[in-house]
Structure 1
Amino acid sequence: MRSSGLGGSPAGAGNASIAARFERLPFTAYQRRIALILVSCFAIDAVDLAMLSYLLAPVSHDLGLSQAEAGLAASSVFAGVGIGATIAGILCDTYGRRKILVYTMYLWGVASLLTAFAWDLTSFMTLRFITGIGLGAEIPAAFALIAECMPASRRALITGWMQVGSAIATVLFNIIALVAIHLIGEALGWRAMFVLMFLAAMFAIYVRRHICESPRWLASCGRDAEAARAMAAFESEVERAHGRPLPPPVADVIADAPPVQGTLAKLFAPGQASRTLFAWALWFAVMMGYYGITMWVGKLLVDRGMSIADSIMIGIFISSAGIPAAWLTGSLMERLGRKLVIIAVLMFVSLAALAYGYATSFAWIAATGAVMRFFMVALATGLYAYTPELFRTSTRATGLGTSSTMGRISAVAGPMLVPVLVATWGYIGAFAAFAICFGISALLVLLIGPETRGKSVEDATA
């Protein structure tokens, strides 16, 4: 087993590895502050990805889009996310998590501002595609930092809080969108929301300056001296927040991965290939149903006779249902394990999607939509907590990025399939097809997925 060099380590650390030093740290206000920064990052990211769910109808009306063109408009951002996630994953494993997390904000922030001035389908799709590249780049960096800087007993719970933040932010966004469209009309209302996203990006840039680099990543690259300094600085902040000396590291039975470059080829190294294929297949199946449903919820309400304002109000109610789901899922994953919770959630969201497809009255649509949203947020929490634990530190961001890309490929296809499915089998058939996607995902986790609860990321990927 390999231990990282520890020049400059605090008293009591001895020659323990970076992993052993991390796993003995108490959870303090310092880690909570890092988690809060990552929560704000993911919340803004989630709002931008979900914003068209209830703005697609006013965008379509203003730009004169057909139903098929609306599907293209909705899918364009995910094409960018898919490309951005893979590229950023490789860059994160090569140049570090912090740089990517900070600098991607400039790209999607400016692109969001320019989207407010889109004049037709082509300009709208192009700018949303560029926005997607920046958004996709954030995912590998943020969740790699959670996996590498947070205690094994807190990773899923913190991921749950990230989803809580995103759910609250989405609800607030929908309220603001409703007010904007009511006060200044559809055409100016949806454009104002993209200006708001630009302002949120500028705020996020300011906040992210204070994020730290991952000592685990530095060690995995063979940069032991830098890893030791970063680890000592991290321990110093934790000790200051803790108010007393840190406990000694646990027995050094955890091995840091040998230094390797974060390339796509490393995802198929011995012991990693099966997990890579599993993660890719899981994200592809889940995201086909996830975004096929969420991107069209608002517009399908309008198509069924509801006004745009009423559809947004229903959207606020449905989105609110996801807030408790994220925290509950994170907590249950820490107690019951990743596999059991994810499988249960997949089965419940499959049933909820079927119920939503059969719904006819607006009251029943709202009720089943809220239940479906509850389990879909729970699903997202499970997926984002579980996936980083499947990959080694040296390729974690690349693995998460490429998995996200596989998900975004199906996220592009999902919204585009909805008009075809509705025309062929109606609303019931469309939601039944997506329910099947969730069922397939549950089988994948049951038959192939490893259990990672309570393990350090080194042990989880051994």
Structure 2
Amino acid sequence: METDTVSDQARAGASRLERLDRLPFSREHRRLLVGSGVGWALDAMDVGLVSFVIAALAVTWPNDVGMLGWVASAGFMGMAIGASVGGLLADRIGRRQVFAFTLLLFGLATGLSALAWSVGVLIALRFVVGLGLGAELPVASTLVSEFAPPRIRGRIIVILESFWAVGWTVAALIGFFVIPASDIGWRWALALGAVPAVYAVVIRLGMPESVRFLESKGRIGEAEATVRRFERAAGVVSPDAIVATPDTVVPARTAPARVSGLFAAPVRRQTISLWIVWFCVNFSYYGAFIWLPTILVASGFDLVRSFGYTLIITLAQLPGYAVSAILVEKWGRNRTLAAFLVGSAASAALFGLASAEWQVIGAGMLLSFFNLGAWGALYAVTPELYPTPLRGTGAGWAAGVGRIASIIAPLIVPVLLATTSTLLVFVVFAAVFIVAATAALGLADKRGRSLDEALATR
């Protein structure tokens, strides 16, 4: 019955985007979600490995402990640049092209990091890794959001983000079993990060380009072929002739995306609120989780127990994503995001107060649950706030601004730990989460609405 309805609407002259939005979730959607998600998981594995590598290098290269914070921060510097440039490129040359290239770049650079003979070389290579990693995440979420059916779009993006927990769990397993096995265990761990270089080839061959991007560039034939591909997968009969209605076809030579467009009405207030949220969430997340194994070691736990506790804490990310995936479609994006950020603040305070082992694990699991649930909601809302010609740029620059915080946080944490206490560090994180929650309430909610439906001017 649903197939007949969609087919009738298509024959009646529905635009390509309307046809795409009305499709049920099909095997093509699933293939795109899983394909992007595996790339996302590989990214998370790479970022997660850094926290374990830093903890191991503090033992292996004790004379360079003061420089180890730069190993993480150099990667985030690259991510800040990569996210900003990658978003712009995604709006100019396509989402799929940028996604594949960035996977290749950070995969190769991570593999080369295994050969680093000094902290300085490792820092330089981590910067290159960050360039690829920073661009990939917002581009992947933009691509998937442009294909997802509107009624479940938020849920689909949270599921995509949940692959991050899978990758971070793999990193924790590698950290627990591989890194402590020998003095060069950290090198073997980084060598495994070269896997994305191989996966990039597979991704490039199988993923579709965004229909919205193709239409914005006047590539109507390719856009029609892609819509028909998804219609076939859903069992929907395509119209006999190419539909080219005035409301969807944009002249081939459209103005290139510019950062200034992020501050034009009606998206100006959304951009400001979004950048605040991205900055605060990055600051608290990376400040806490990059240094978590090291903080546990400094608290008296040995390296293996520290890595084991981190693995347990990491597993709590998965139910956080699951709950967030449900609530973004029931409560809306902004309210879900704010609620999880408040939960993150409370969990951070509890972690700072924890002393017994069960308290450390319990508070850490709560922090994982709420913080990663917030990440899922944040990635769901970000692409929805901008029109197609500006969507990659908007998502990329929001992520880029967030990466500035992820550069600062790993450098501040060691200083705070040396001069104050773990409690004060996590109180700071809690306060930053509250700021993010307040800003999140200012974001628009396009739950169930088409991506092409304009925001109301406020």
* Larger deviation, residues 332-341 vs 123-132: 332-341
**Alpha-carbon distance in structure 2 between the residues aligned to 1:373 and 1:383:** 15
Are the aligned partners of 1:338 and 1:453 in contact in 2 as well (CA < 8 Å)? yes
Which residues in structure 2 correspond to 1:15-414 (within 5 Å)? 15-64=13-62, 66-183=64-181, 185=182, 187-221=183-217, 223=218, 226-227=219-220, 229-245=221-237, 259-414=254-409
Are the aligned partners of 2:26 and 2:230 in contact in 1 as well (CA < 8 Å)? yes
Are the aligned partners of 1:53 and 1:295 in contact in 2 as well (CA < 8 Å)? yes
**Alpha-carbon distance in structure 1 between the residues aligned to 2:380 and 2:246:** 21
The Cα offsets for residues 185-211 of structure 1, whole Å up to 9 and x where unpaired, read as 1x3111111110102431243234211
Shift of the alpha carbon at 1:172?
2.4
* Larger deviation, residues 362-371 vs 127-136: 362-371
Are the aligned partners of 2:145 and 2:157 in contact in 1 as well (CA < 8 Å)? no
**Alpha-carbon distance in structure 2 between the residues aligned to 1:440 and 1:91:** 31
Shift of the alpha carbon at 1:60?
2.5
Shift of the alpha carbon at 1:416?
0.9
The Cα offsets for residues 120-147 of structure 1, whole Å up to 9 and x where unpaired, read as 2211110000000011111232111122
Structure-2 residue corresponding to 1:6: none
Are the aligned partners of 2:138 and 2:392 in contact in 1 as well (CA < 8 Å)? yes
Shift of the alpha carbon at 1:67?
4.6
Structure-2 residue corresponding to 1:438: 433
Distance 1:374 1:25, change over 3 A: same
Residue 415, structure 1, aligned to residue 413, structure 2: no
Distance 1:65 1:148, change over 3 A: farther
Partner SS state of residue 284, structure 1: helix
Are the aligned partners of 2:10 and 2:19 in contact in 1 as well (CA < 8 Å)? no
TM (normalized to structure 1)? Answer: 0.91
**Over aligned residue pairs, what C-alpha RMSD do you find?**
2.3
Shift of the alpha carbon at 1:156?
1.7
Residue ranges of structure 2 left out of the alignment (5+ in a row):
1-6
* Larger deviation, residues 43-52 vs 74-83: 43-52
Are the aligned partners of 1:256 and 1:458 in contact in 2 as well (CA < 8 Å)? no
**Alpha-carbon distance in structure 2 between the residues aligned to 1:400 and 1:294:** 23
**Alpha-carbon distance in structure 2 between the residues aligned to 1:328 and 1:362:** 26
**Alpha-carbon distance in structure 2 between the residues aligned to 1:208 and 1:299:** 37
Distance 1:245 1:439, change over 3 A: same
**Alpha-carbon distance in structure 1 between the residues aligned to 2:147 and 2:234:** 16
Identical aligned residues as a percent = 31
Partner SS state of residue 154, structure 1: helix
Shift of the alpha carbon at 1:363?
2.0
**Alpha-carbon distance in structure 1 between the residues aligned to 2:343 and 2:106:** 34
Partner amino acid, structure 2, of 1:169: G
Structure-2 residue corresponding to 1:5: none
Shift of the alpha carbon at 1:217?
1.2
Partner amino acid, structure 2, of 1:318: I
Partner SS state of residue 179, structure 2: helix
Are the aligned partners of 2:20 and 2:149 in contact in 1 as well (CA < 8 Å)? yes
Are the aligned partners of 1:163 and 1:323 in contact in 2 as well (CA < 8 Å)? no
Distance 1:256 1:450, change over 3 A: farther
Partner SS state of residue 301, structure 2: coil
**Alpha-carbon distance in structure 2 between the residues aligned to 1:405 and 1:243:** 40
Shift of the alpha carbon at 1:17?
2.9
Are the aligned partners of 2:76 and 2:404 in contact in 1 as well (CA < 8 Å)? yes
* Larger deviation, residues 268-277 vs 347-356: 268-277
* Larger deviation, residues 31-40 vs 193-202: 193-202
Partner amino acid, structure 2, of 1:190: W
Are the aligned partners of 1:19 and 1:254 in contact in 2 as well (CA < 8 Å)? no
TM (normalized to structure 2)? Answer: 0.91
Partner amino acid, structure 1, of 2:81: I
* Larger deviation, residues 210-219 vs 11-20: 11-20
**Alpha-carbon distance in structure 2 between the residues aligned to 1:243 and 1:44:** 33
Partner SS state of residue 153, structure 1: helix
The Cα offsets for residues 237-261 of structure 1, whole Å up to 9 and x where unpaired, read as 233322353699xxx9995596442
* Larger deviation, residues 56-65 vs 315-324: 56-65
* Larger deviation, residues 28-37 vs 256-265: 256-265
Shift of the alpha carbon at 1:46?
1.5
Are the aligned partners of 1:349 and 1:438 in contact in 2 as well (CA < 8 Å)? yes
Are the aligned partners of 1:18 and 1:219 in contact in 2 as well (CA < 8 Å)? no
Structure-1 residue corresponding to 2:4: none
Partner amino acid, structure 2, of 1:414: A
**Alpha-carbon distance in structure 1 between the residues aligned to 2:150 and 2:32:** 16
Partner amino acid, structure 2, of 1:459: E
Partner amino acid, structure 2, of 1:216: R
Shift of the alpha carbon at 1:182?
4.1
Distance 1:242 1:20, change over 3 A: closer
Are the aligned partners of 1:389 and 1:460 in contact in 2 as well (CA < 8 Å)? no
* Larger deviation, residues 405-414 vs 38-47: 38-47
